[in-house]
Amino acid sequence: MRILFVGDVMGRSGRDAVTKHLPVLKKSLKIDCAIVDADNAAHGLGVTEANCKEFYEAGADCITTGNHVWDQREVIPYIGRDPKLIRAINFPKGTTGNSSFLFTTAAGERILITHALARLFMENLDCPFTGMDELLKDYKIGQNVDAIFVDFHGEATSEKNAFAHYLDGRVSAVVGTHTHMPTADCQVFDGGTGYQTDAGMTGDYNSVIGVRKDIPIHRFVKKTPSERLVPADGEATFCGTFIETNAKGLCTRIEPIIIGPRLQNHTPSV
């Protein structure tokens, strides 16, 4: 199975990059399932129903979120109606929305897509390790599902790394999001789980992690209030991760996808 994951979509320029590149990549890489992290899609803060529809039309099969999931209030009633838009697994019991989505490919293969929030330097939610243990009681790769993909949204590289090693052999891949910078550590762990600390941002890299440069620079240098953070609106770079799995649901290949200005481009060959 071939999975394409798109890193944090940042604002309008990021959404335009998804619309431009995702349909082409799905065809050229023969993708079975495409997943988009939309935590910053709505002008840098959360996601709206209109954003989701835009991504689905471009070819997204599932949308993950992050710590900004509730920033657009309209998403609160919408997320309960859209099973393909998922929030983190470690929100308190009873929180609206689904924390996983079971997608069936055109070939009839089943992939479980789930999402967790890290806690170090982030909000202190329920334990993501325990949350995954509970979920994986019901889903086994190579048995009742063909693959399991995890988007782990967090700040600390150590927590992301530990989380992925903890799940090694039990899920197909763990790919991190949130820091908006693609990491050069795509690898397959000993147990067969694919890993990347952060897929990077789909947005304008002529920025400070996707934000117009002058605003955070003012905050760092002057230490006085500035205008609110707004996304940079130049041409975006599409960043994501390509994953290939075998019949046992284990990862056999994981590579970055980078298309656009400023960063060194890379597109997997098939």
Q: Which residues are catalytic?
A: 68
Tell me the torsion sign for CA atoms 67, 78, 212, 60.
Answer: positive
58: its two tokens: 């471009």
Buried b / exposed e over 242-270, threshold 16 CB at 10 Å, is bbbbeeebbbeebbbbbbbeebeeebbee
Q: How far is CA 141 from CA 13, 115, 169, 191, 217, in A?
A: 36, 17, 9, 12, 46
In one-letter notation, the amino acid at residue 268 is P
**Which pair of structure tokens corresponds to residue 247?**
């019949």
Positive or negative CA dihedral for 91, 242, 55, 83? negative
CB neighbours of 2 closer than 8 A, spacing ≥ 6? 29, 30, 31, 32, 33, 242, 243, 244, 270
End-to-end CA separation in angstroms for the chain: 13
Pairing state between β 238-245 and 251-259: antiparallel
